[in-house]
Chain A
């Protein structure tokens, strides 16, 4: 059975930081723009102390919430 489309996410590989994830998840994007985009899509990781620290288990979104998903991202 095929799953319906859902919002893309990844998890960090051991040792990865935000620039690493930006390069892996958003290849071809300018680094600053990619980092800014990742930040806006992953506010849940920037609202805890210390802001932006990545834990191994974190869900990291690699795109904005899908339009039409009823505003429940």
Chain B
């Protein structure tokens, strides 16, 4: 599954009234899935990917998502 990558990330409203980051992952078979990140997790994803703009998350490897919990927050 090494070929799975982040396809895009968009800001969406969460159920609790806060903004969340919806990340789309495109898999090698052509299918795609989503994960939803809160503000803190999104910050860590930006840092892990070394980017500051939403559009620059596209193309990043999916493994970054699994390292979010290993990364201390601000």
Contacts and interface: CB of A to CB of B under 8 A. Distances in A.
Nearest to B2: A36
A50 interface: yes
A68 B26 CA distance: 12
Contacts, number: 61
Contact of B28 (A39, A46, A49, A64): A64
Interface size class of A (residues with CB under 8 A): 20 to 34
The DSSP consensus for interface residues of chain B is mixed
Interface string A14-53: 0000000000000000000000110111011011111100
Interface of A: 36-37, 39-41, 43-44, 46-51, 64-69, 71-73
